[in-house]
Amino acid sequence: MFQPRFALWRTITYKGAVHPWHCDHMSHMNVMWYTGKFDEATWNLFAEVGITPSYLREQQRGMAGVQQNTTYQEELFAGDVVEIHSEGLEIRDKVMRFRHEMRNIEKDTVAAVTELIAVHMDRQTRKSCPFPAAIRAAAEARIKR
């Protein structure tokens, strides 16, 4: 199992099932659905440190994914039940790096892992901007040493 040098926090950010419409002509879950489930997990992870829908709307802020690397380790099929474990890896002035691990609950195996880098944005200027002190502090408070 992946052991980062340091992690901000680790939490379950998604639980769900693979539905038949998630599967492609090879009968396994298509990559677009892995990405979609990882995206849902991302918003739950962000909310834990204050990057909530209200914050984004009221402050005219956004988060932009700038890099995503996904490794597919095991196929998932219709009926499989999954959960995503997420962990923050790094927070800097304007950047957050984090990782999601999608697990097949029944088999207790890792189906896929993705690591992302996201940038905090000012939606009016369309440029990156620093995280507010409260969000940065909430993330930093979760650092495991």
Lookup: tokens for 92: 């800097």
H/E element, 65: strand 61-72
Provide the pLDDT for residue 70.
98
Provide the pLDDT for residue 141.
78
Q: Do 18 and 79 form a contact (C-beta atoms < 8 A)?
A: yes
What structural domains and CATH numbers belong to the chain?
9-140 (3.10.129.10)
Burial (0-12, 13-18, 19+ Cβ within 10 Å), 106:
exposed
DSSP string across 91-118: E-SSEEEEEEEEEETTTTEEEEEEEEEE
Does residue 3 register a pLDDT over 50?
no
Task: Give the distance from CA 67 to its chain's centroid.
Answer: 12
Calculate mean pLDDT across residues 30-50: 96
Q: Percentage of the chain surpassing pLDDT 70?
A: 92
Q: What pTM, to 2 d.p., does this model score?
A: 0.90
How do residues 54-86 score in pLDDT, each as one tens digit? 999 999 999 999 999 999 999 999 999 999 999
Q: If you search the block for the tokens 């639980």, which residue do you land on?
A: 15
Provide the pLDDT for residue 9.
58
